[in-house]
Amino acid sequence: MEHKEIESNHDLLGGLDISSTEEIEVPKALIEQVVGQDHAVEVVKKAANQRRHVMMLGTPGTGKSMLAKAMAELLPKEELQDVLIYHNPEDSNNPKIRVVPAGKGKEISDAHKLEAQKRSQARNMFVMLLVLGVVVYSFYIGQIFMGIIAAVLIAILMRQFMPKETIFIPKLLISNVDKKIAPYIDATGAHAGALLGDVRHDPFQSGGLETPSHDRVESGAIHKAHKGVLFIDEINTLRIESQQNLLTALQEKEFAITGQSERSSGAMVKTDPVPCDFIMIAAGNLDALKGMHPALRSRIKGYGYEVFMNDTIEDTPENRQKFVRFVAQEVVRDGKIPHFDRSAVEEIIHEAKRRAGRKGHLTLKFRDLGGLVRVAGDIAHGENSPLTTSRHVLKAKNIARSVEQQVAYQYLERRKDYKLFVREGAQVGRVNGLAVMGEDSGIVLPIIAEVAPTQSKSEGHIIATGMLKDIAKEAVQNVSALIKKTTGKDISGMDVHIQFVGTYEGVEGDSASISIATAVLSAIQGIPVDQTVAMTGSLSVRGDVLPIGGVTYKIEAAALAGIKKVIIPRSNLGDVLIEDEYKDKIEIIPVTKIEEVLEHSLVGKEKAGFISRLKRLATKTSKINIALPDTAPASALP
């Protein structure tokens, strides 16, 4: 708790003397607005200069799409082009392509439209005069009825056999008129037609009602990104065929458009190759590499750059000043919320420290942090406040809670109602573990251990329930060795049962290691565990308590549940930035060894002798590592 008080006395604005973000100058260039991704910014600048492809991997919300937009600003707009598509009189299913400088396409298309309009007016005048002549002539010869029929037939025949003027009008397939920067096209989640172009189906194939094939051609994202940037997030979600075609477009820098549905009349149409000389920025999480076409990744890697995005940045005065600028940028970009005063910016930076989950760092998940800025601004706007204050930010933190936080709160309330975890007294073999749900919410995870005579004639078993995943399953097997090392008892005649209460869809991770160790040893020795204590931490093979993630959220969950003390790894103490409302509700106990965990959690007259024996054994032999669940799923509700 001393660390929290020391941090609160520092200048959270990094030495800036401002009263509100209105005094902060926001850079005009998007690339200069990027915060905390210096390596990625350098790569983007080089890639834009040399026209290289880039792959960005990392946590969502760290600025990948912003960097892609910034690259479009760095590309020369003088190279932009328009693409026109013309009817091919020799083969109507093979429209012709023409590339012209940007702005010329509209001029050419408008000129053809004007010429076609003149021809249409001349034709209509001719048909009208001919029909009128027939009607007048039939009136003079007394055959007015036959004259009307003849006039209708002439009009139909003229419409049927005279070519439509629209067939000679080229379609402006790609237009870059009046564009001040190179195109930026976000093709995330695009289906094949939207990505590669398509030809619309024409249900009227004959009778003079059909639409010319070149008018039915639609450009794809790869064509719209010509001389610009094509951004594809979660690229591994593209079908493998689309990735193969994308690779062809990258290699050839042109790609013909055809109908994507084989049952459509558009499938008969195939244009001349359409230029698509773009820079591709592919993005995703680390698992995106698994679903990528190997040749596509090789193309990017061989002719471009791969970047891993930072999700935290060192907490320095210089970087805090950048966060002040970030708040100002969000206010200016939104355009509908009031600027933030000094106290509000301090609260945002404090929240950035909390969300980093790592001492001495600030989070770079700006999408989530920007959401908090906008909600706080909306609250201030709703109150007609001239500035957004810390009060608005604190209120926004409660309103803008993630779904996981809301579920975790209900999760705790239901567990209180049904007494799924115990907050007072002492029980043998029962421990209040802690886990993280999602990324920003903690829950209390009760763990119960029991020892029973073995049902096997050969040996005892460790039996764990709670739908444990791979890491947890492997870790549980180490418990038998722990029992032998710490108790000296022969467990060949007993089964050790371990239950994770309320984990209906499985758990994974290792931050409940000290919890399961305490529960099992309590069950074996018959020594009660203090139920006012919760704990989280991993264990090394030598019995050291190792750091874990989400410590702040776990402590807050314990406090919210009414637990009085929480045991955490000492190495995580600097990561603790709990809210002021929880500060006086819970005592934080940092530990470095499993013996310290047992010292603070076990109660009863047999406790002292057991811990003394454990310490003697610790000097002679190593302990075994146990690694158990770290997280519980958001859907794990009673």
Angle between helices 240-252 and 294-302 (to 10 degrees): 30
Average pLDDT of the chain, as a whole number? 84
In whole angstroms, what is the distance from residue 137 CA to residue 272 CA? 51
User: CA 516, CA 447: separation in Å to the nearest integer?
Assistant: 7
Number of H helices and E strands in the chain, helices first, is 22, 25
Name the one residue in this structure whose structure tokens are 């061989």.
Answer: 302
Catalytic residues: 511, 554
- Nearest Cα neighbor of 521 from 584, 628, 457, 601 is 601
* Amino acid identity for residue 59 in this structure: T
Mean pLDDT value of segment 596-604: 93
Q: What is the mean pLDDT of residues 442-462?
A: 78
Q: Is the pLDDT of residue 4 over 70?
A: no
Q: pTM for the full model?
A: 0.79
Please tell me whether residue 218 adopts helix, strand or coil conformation. strand
Return the residue matching tokens 């075609």: 245
Q: What confidence tens digit (pLDDT) does each residue in 188-222 have? A: 989 999 999 999 988 876 655 678 889 999 999 99
pLDDT at 634: 42
The string of pLDDT tens digits covering residues 328-362 is: 999 999 999 999 999 999 999 999 999 898 889 99
d(CA 342, CA 20): 5
Token look-up 């203090």 returns 530
Instruction: For residues 534 and 431, give the distance between their C-alpha atoms in angstroms, rounded to a whole number.
Output: 7
